């Protein structure tokens, strides 16, 4: 498979996964809703295309794209969203905590900015053992105002840990526009710690892949962290809940302008139409199977609700009378 | 027999575990120079990769430890001031503690958080004198408060070997305790198992951490009036309920002395659990800091809000009179 095909397939897979997941939210099969990644697919796809299987990533609460792009099974991911025992996290994590350690996904993380220090520690510990790997911490534009993330920049730079901090600047932290939240510049945050920072068009998966590959090559050679700001746009709501409460915070013309640069179309335009149609059909078949797998999966046994709470095997006292 | 100090016991536990397991490493503020004296000599012996001084960035280095643990390491994070745990409560509770369940059992987070000098170090005032173990017991993070040098060694070793996050509170009031201990006899002490420090028939006194020594002193003072059993839980979460219930079932009376705030403190939990299971001969009592206490600076004021021997003596006499 050539790179343009693979990139397009990942972008398309994430797009259709999200659209199918939103359908499942509306039909009541996914409880609690999701934070759709629609419009931002090029970032996860481009970044992960430049990684090796042994590299690790930490995602965000808008994390489906990161998990899928790193190679998790869409069927088990969909089953997780549906709260099934067959899900990636056995129905214990759901959308915001989807994790697949087998493919290097240390977990989506629902606390903004929390992944930076975690992935830094994980990469440091494995490199101490002699393993050659890098890490990626995905974060949103809201995270650059979180103190813990800035502390993580300092540790990664000070201790020369090869972590790529990828800021997906989609213009909004929930409803707060970047201009109302970020003093100074986003890349300036990283540069203050001596971390090389660059900006890329997040709507172009190939540009993201190339920028990531360059950053990762420098990290593998020099050891320290890098920062990449991917300018992107969230096509849909912050959360599926948003439609129910009818939040209105983005001018329609801005949304239309944002949607006009669609990573699916940009990546798809680099394929012959028949090849693109083949990929679309295969993605559709994979997602049909994923939805069927998810809905057929058993619900977890309530008797095991606190299973895995303690890795040591400790069991919690019951709460009932 | 040599006298082993509580502080030296912690130091020895760290050294033994660093030597035993390459995946163990220490990180924290000023640990290279051993500001708390607990890490003394370890940099020279194990090097800066295993004994890592951190910048003042508690939240990041606490989550860094979580990440390292996810990758198979066994970090020990030293906090030299108990109030720093308020800063990193989120990192411990919301990440380290929750990851194994939220990932459906894909990972373990074996981090030890060591807090030497927890509680009042007279004169350190409001922001350096808390003793926040009840918070961790409440959220279900394994929480230990050793009272003796042998337990300080044995519980810290067990904490480092545990596959879950464990907070080890070493009370300031216990750090200078010394005991006749044959160093060669030091052993891991199992988590979740209490011990009867002094047998008695009339009342069970549950004492936490350094207060075990106060409870023993009060029990001796009252020996001609009351037969006091002193129960040291050693681990507050998980708590050795079987051991405590066996004691209280025999004595029929209960007093808890605990150096944390009264509301939602561990003392309240001990009493609630006992009265759910045992018909007592007298209403139980607890001796704690006041609700919402902030330790004032002046030594007399500092002492005034801490549970002391006089309060304990009075509580014991009350439960004897009441029943």
DSSP letters, A238-281, are SSTHHHHHT---S-HHHHHHHHTS-HHHHHHTTS-HHHHHHHHH
Q: How far is CA B305 from CA A173, B175, B294, in A?
A: 45, 20, 8
Confidence of residue B322 (pLDDT cuts 50, 70, 90): confident
| Mean pLDDT of the residues in chain B | 97
Are A271 and A8 spatial neighbours (Cβ–Cβ below 8 Å)? yes
Per residue in A285-310, pLDDT (tens digit) is 999 999 999 999 999 999 999 999 99
Question: Given this model, what pLDDT does residue A243 score?
Answer: 77
Instruction: Determine the Cα–Cα distance for residues B80 and B114; give it in Å rounded to an integer.
Output: 8
With contacts defined as CB-CB under 8 Å, which chain B residues touch A152? 60, 63-64
Q: Are A104 and A52 in contact (CB under 8 A)?
A: no
- Give pLDDT tens digits for A176-213: 999 999 999 999 999 999 999 999 999 999 999 999 99
CA torsion through residues B187, B189, B190, B195, sign: positive
Query: What's the rounded mean pLDDT across residues B102-123?
Result: 97
Contact (CB<8Å) B104/A147: no
pTM greater than the 0.90 cutoff: yes
Q: Does B107 touch chain A (CB under 8 A)?
A: yes
Measure the CA–CA gap between A180 and A176, rounded to whole angstroms: 7
pLDDT in the model for residue B1:
66
Q: Is the CB of residue A95 less than 8 Å from the CB of residue A30?
A: yes
Catalytic residues of B: 128
Say whether A92 and B102 touch across the interface (CB within 8 A). Answer: yes
Of A99, A122, A317, the CB nearest to B106: A99
Torsion from C-alpha of B28, B31, B37, B41, nearest 10 degrees: 140
* B114: helix, strand or coil: strand
Rounded (5°) CA angle B46-B52-B57: 170
Cβ of B112 under 8 Å from any chain A Cβ? no
pLDDT in tens, B215-248: 999 999 999 999 999 999 999 999 999 999 999 9
CB contact under 8 A, B70 and A97: no
CB atoms B94 and A111 under 8 Å? yes
C-alpha to C-alpha distances, B263 to B33, B267, B269, B320, nearest whole angstrom: 38, 9, 10, 24
Q: Spell out the residues 6+ positions from residue A295 whose beta carbon is closer than 8 angstroms to its own.
A: A29, A82
Q: How many angstroms separate the CA atoms of B112 and A32, rounded? A: 34
Interface test with B, best of A148, A297, A300, A319 (most B CBs within 10 A): A148
Is A105 buried (19+), middle (13-18) or exposed (0-12) by CB count in 10 A? buried
Burial of residue A299, with CB atoms counted within 10 A of its CB: 0-12 exposed, 13-18 middle, 19 or more buried: exposed
Judged against a pLDDT cut of 90, whether residue B103 lies above it is answered with yes
What would the two tokens of residue A46 be? 């481009």
Please report which residue ranges of chain A form alpha helices under DSSP H: 3-26, 41-49, 64-69, 74-81, 115-128, 147-158, 178-181, 186-191, 205-222, 241-245, 252-259, 263-268, 273-296
d(CA B88, CA A4): 44
Cβ contact B104–A89 (<8 Å): yes
Report pLDDT digits (tens) over A91-118: 999 999 999 999 999 988 899 999 999 9
Predicted confidence at residue A193, as pLDDT, reads 98
The chain-wide mean pLDDT, for chain A, equals: 96
Q: Is the dihedral of CA B92, B94, B100, B103 positive or negative?
A: negative
How many Cβ pairs closer than 8 A exist between chain A and B? 150
Across the interface, which of B61, B100, B192 has its CB nearest the CB of A308?
A: B100
Residues of A in contact with B99 (CB under 8 A): 107
Q: Roughly what angle, to the nearest 10 degrees, separates helices B149-161 and B6-20?
A: 30
Strands (E), chain B: 3-5, 24-28, 51-53, 74-78, 112-118, 142-144, 166-171, 178-180, 195-198, 203-207, 228-232, 235-237, 254-261, 285-289
CA distance B73 to A123: 11
Q: Which residues of B touch A91 (CB under 8 A)?
A: 104
Q: Do residues B112 and B168 touch, judged by C-beta distance below 8 A?
A: yes
With the C-alpha atoms ordered A287, A292, A293, A294, is the resulting torsion angle positive or negative?
positive
Preceding omega of B79 cis (within 30 degrees of 0):
no
Q: Which of A88, A125, A314 sits opposite B72 (nearest CB)?
A: A125
Cβ contact (<8 Å) for A122 and B100? Answer: no
Which B positions 122-181 lie with beta carbon below 8 A of chain A?
A: 140, 142, 162-164
Best of B50, B63, B109, B272 to mutate (most A CBs within 10 Å, chain A): B63
Task: Say whether B49 and A128 touch across the interface (CB within 8 A).
Answer: yes
Residues B260-280 have a mean pLDDT of 97
Task: Give the rounded distance of the alpha carbon of B299 from its chain centre.
Answer: 23
In the predicted model, residues of chain A with pLDDT beneath 70 are 1-2
Look at A178-192, A245-259, B249-263, B300-314 and tell me which has the smallest mean pLDDT.
A245-259
Res A2: pLDDT? 59
Q: Which of B22, B55, B60 to mutate to test the interface with A (most CBs of A within 10 A)?
A: B60
Q: Is the ipTM of this complex over 0.85?
A: yes
Q: What residue has token string 């915001």? A: A96
- H or E element at residue A139: strand A135-140
B170-187 burial, b at 16+ Cβ within 10 Å, e below that, comes to bbbbbbebebebeeeebe
- Are A152 and B60 an interchain contact pair (Cβ–Cβ within 8 Å)? yes
Task: Give the model's pLDDT for residue B173.
Answer: 96
Contact A34, A239 (CB under 8 A): yes
Share of chain B above pLDDT 70, in %: 100
- Residue A288: what are its φ and ψ, rounded to 5°? -55, -45
């Amino acid at each position: 498979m050539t790179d343009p095909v693979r990139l397009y397939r990942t972008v398309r897979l994430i797009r259709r996964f999200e659209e199918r997941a939103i359908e499942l939210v509306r039909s009541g099969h996914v409880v609690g809703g999701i934070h759709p990644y629609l419009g931002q697919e090029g970032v996860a796809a481009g970044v992960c295309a430049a990684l090796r299987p042994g590299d690790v990533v930490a995602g965000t609460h808008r994390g489906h794209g990161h998990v899928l792009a790193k190679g998790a099974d869409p069927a088990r991911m969909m089953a997780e969203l549906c709260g099934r025992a067959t899900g990636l996290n056995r129905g214990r994590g759901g959308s915001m905590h989807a994790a697949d350690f087998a493919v290097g996904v240390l977990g989506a993380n629902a606390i903004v900015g929390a992944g930076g220090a975690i992935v830094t520690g994980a990469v440091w510990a494995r490199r101490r053992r002699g393993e050659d790997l890098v890490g990626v911490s995905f974060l949103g534009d809201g995270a650059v105002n979180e103190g813990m993330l800035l502390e993580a920049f300092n540790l990664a730079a000070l201790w020369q840990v090869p972590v790529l901090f990828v800021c997906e600047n989609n213009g909004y932290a929930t409803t707060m526009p970047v201009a109302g939240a970020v003093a100074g510049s986003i890349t300036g945050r990283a540069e203050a710690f001596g971390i090389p920072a660059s900006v890329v068009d997040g709507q172009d998966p190939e540009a993201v892949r190339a920028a990531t590959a360059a950053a990762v090559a420098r990290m593998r050679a020099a050891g320290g962290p890098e920062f990449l700001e991917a300018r992107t746009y969230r096509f849909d709501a912050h959360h599926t809940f948003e439609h129910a409460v009818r939040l209105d915070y983005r001018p329609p013309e801005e949304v239309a302008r944002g949607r006009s640069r669609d990573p699916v179309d940009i990546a798809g335009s680099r394929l012959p139409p028949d090849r693109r149609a083949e990929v679309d059909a295969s993605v559709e078949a994979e997602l049909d199977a994923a939805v069927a797998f998810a809905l057929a999966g058993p619900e977890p046994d309530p008797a095991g609700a606190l299973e895995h709470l303690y890795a040591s095997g400790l069991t919690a006292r019951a709460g009932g009378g | 027999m040599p006298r082993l100090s509580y502080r030296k016991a912690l130091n020895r536990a760290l050294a033994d575990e660093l030597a035993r397991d390459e995946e163990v490493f220490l990180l924290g503020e000023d640990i290279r120079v051993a500001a708390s004296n607990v890490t003394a000599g370890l940099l020279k012996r194990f090097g800066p990769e295993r004994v890592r001084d951190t910048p003042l960035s508690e939240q990041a280095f606490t989550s860094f430890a979580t990440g390292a643990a996810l990758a198979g390491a066994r970090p020990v994070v030293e906090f030299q001031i108990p109030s720093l745990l308020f800063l990193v409560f989120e990192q411990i509770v919301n990440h380290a503690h929750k990851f194994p369940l939220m990932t459906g059992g894909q990972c373990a987070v074996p981090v030890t958080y060591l807090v030497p000098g927890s509680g009042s170090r007279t004169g350190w005032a409001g922001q350096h004198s808390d003793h926040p173990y009840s918070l961790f017991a409440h959220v279900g993070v394994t929480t230990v408060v050793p009272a003796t040098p042998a337990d300080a060694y044995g519980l810290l070793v067990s904490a480092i070997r545990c596959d879950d996050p464990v907070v080890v509170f070493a009370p300031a009031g216990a750090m200078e305790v010394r005991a006749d201990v044959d160093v060669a006899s030091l052993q891991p002490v199992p988590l979740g198992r209490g011990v009867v420090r002094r047998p008695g028939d009339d009342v069970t006194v549950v004492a936490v951490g350094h207060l075990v020594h106060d409870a023993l002193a009060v029990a001796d003072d009252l020996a001609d009036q009351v037969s006091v059993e002193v129960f040291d839980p050693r681990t507050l979460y998980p708590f050795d309920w079987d051991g405590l219930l066996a004691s209280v079932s025999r004595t029929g009376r209960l007093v808890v002395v605990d150096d944390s705030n009264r509301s939602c403190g561990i003392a309240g939990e001990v009493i609630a659990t006992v009265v759910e299971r045992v018909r007592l001969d007298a209403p139980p009592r607890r001796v704690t800091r006041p609700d919402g206490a902030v330790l004032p600076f002046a030594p007399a004021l500092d002492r005034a809000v801490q549970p002391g021997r006089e309060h304990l003596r009075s509580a014991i006499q009350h439960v004897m009179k009441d029943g």
